[in-house]
Amino acid sequence: MFTALDRNTMIYPEGHDGKKLEIITGHVEICLVHLAYPARPDMIICNGFSINCYGLKSGSGKSTIS
């Protein structure tokens, strides 16, 4: 993981030189998520969680769904 975080990227994330897309739409689907902490496998956090989000546009909060 640290190798990926420490690598030099070819894209400058704070630059404004890249191509800016006008419209971005899409579909996000997460299916049957099962999650428990390794230290407490009896404590189930998610038990078959699924979600579908259709018609997503840039800036619609996809990364803030919790």
**What are the tens digits of pLDDT across the range 22-38?**
776 778 889 999 999 99
Tell whether 7 is covered by a domain: no
CB 47 within 8 A of CB 30: no
Tell whether 2 is covered by a domain: no
| Number of folded domains that form the chain | 1
Tell whether 9 is covered by a domain: no
Tell whether 63 is covered by a domain: yes
**Long-range contacts, 48-52 (Cβ 8 Å, 24+):** 52/27, 52/28
Tell whether 31 is covered by a domain: yes
- 36 C-beta neighbours (distance < 10 Å), count: 13
| Predicted pLDDT at 50 | 92
Tell whether 10 is covered by a domain: no
Q: What is the pTM of this model?
A: 0.42
Q: Which residue range(s) make up the domain with 58?
A: 20-66
Tell whether 43 is covered by a domain: yes
- H/E run at residue 30: strand 25-37
Tell whether 3 is covered by a domain: no
Residue 62: helix, strand or coil by DSSP?
helix
